[in-house]
A and B are shown apart, each in its own frame.
Chain A
Amino acid sequence: MPLQYTFQVGGHIFALDYPNGMLSEKELLPYAPFRTDSCFVNDRLFSLSIIDDPDALAANDPASANLEDENGKTTIFTHEDGSMTIYLTTVTGSQCCRIRISEDYKSAKAWIGGTSGERRYAIDTALMLLYTFASSKHDTLLVHASAIELNDKGYLFLGKSGTGKSTHSRLWLENIKGPKLLNDDNPIIRISHGIVYVYGSPWSGKTSCYRNKKIPIGGIVRLQQAPLNKITRITGIKAYAALLPSCSCMKWDHEMAHAIHSTISKVIERVPIYILECLPDNEAAILCHEKLEGNE
Chain B
Amino acid sequence: MKKIEGFVMRRLGQEAMIVAESVDLIDFDRIVSINSSAAYIWESLPDSDFNSETIANLLTERYDVDGSTAVKDAEELATTWLNAGIISE
Q: Across the interface, do B28 and A251 meet the contact criterion of CB distance under 8 Å?
A: yes
Instruction: Report Cα–Cα, A251/B8, bound state, in Å.
Output: 11
Q: Is A237 an interface residue (CB 8 A)?
A: yes
B9 to chain A, nearest CB (A): 11
Q: Is A261 an interface residue (CB 8 A)?
A: yes
Q: Across the interface, do A236 and B13 meet the contact criterion of CB distance under 8 Å?
A: yes
Q: Across the interface, do B15 and A237 meet the contact criterion of CB distance under 8 Å?
A: yes
Q: Is A265 an interface residue (CB 8 A)?
A: yes
Interface size of A in residues (CB-CB distance below 8 Å): 15
Q: Which residues of B contact A265 (CB under 8 A)?
A: 12-13
Stretch at the interface among A4-12, A37-45, A108-116, A238-246: A238-246
Contact mask for chain B residues 16-50; partner A; CB cutoff 8 A; 1 contact, 0 none: 01011111000011010100000000000000000
Q: Across the interface, do A65 and B15 meet the contact criterion of CB distance under 8 Å?
A: no
Interface size of B in residues (CB-CB distance below 8 Å): 16
Q: Across the interface, do B23 and A261 meet the contact criterion of CB distance under 8 Å?
A: no
Which of B8, B12, B29 neighbours the largest number of chain A CB atoms within 10 Å of its CB? Answer: B12
Instruction: Report Cα–Cα, A241/B19, bound state, in Å.
Output: 10
Q: Across the interface, do B12 and A240 meet the contact criterion of CB distance under 8 Å?
A: yes
Which residue of chain B lies nearest to A269 when distances are taken between CB atoms in the complex? Answer: B13
Q: Across the interface, do B20 and A244 meet the contact criterion of CB distance under 8 Å?
A: no
Beyond A65-B23, A252-B21, A254-B21, is A237–B6 a contact (Cβ under 8 Å)? no
Q: Across the interface, do B22 and A252 meet the contact criterion of CB distance under 8 Å?
A: yes
Beyond A237-B31, A237-B33, A245-B29, is A251–B20 a contact (Cβ under 8 Å)? yes
Beyond A65-B23, A237-B15, A240-B17, is A261–B31 a contact (Cβ under 8 Å)? no
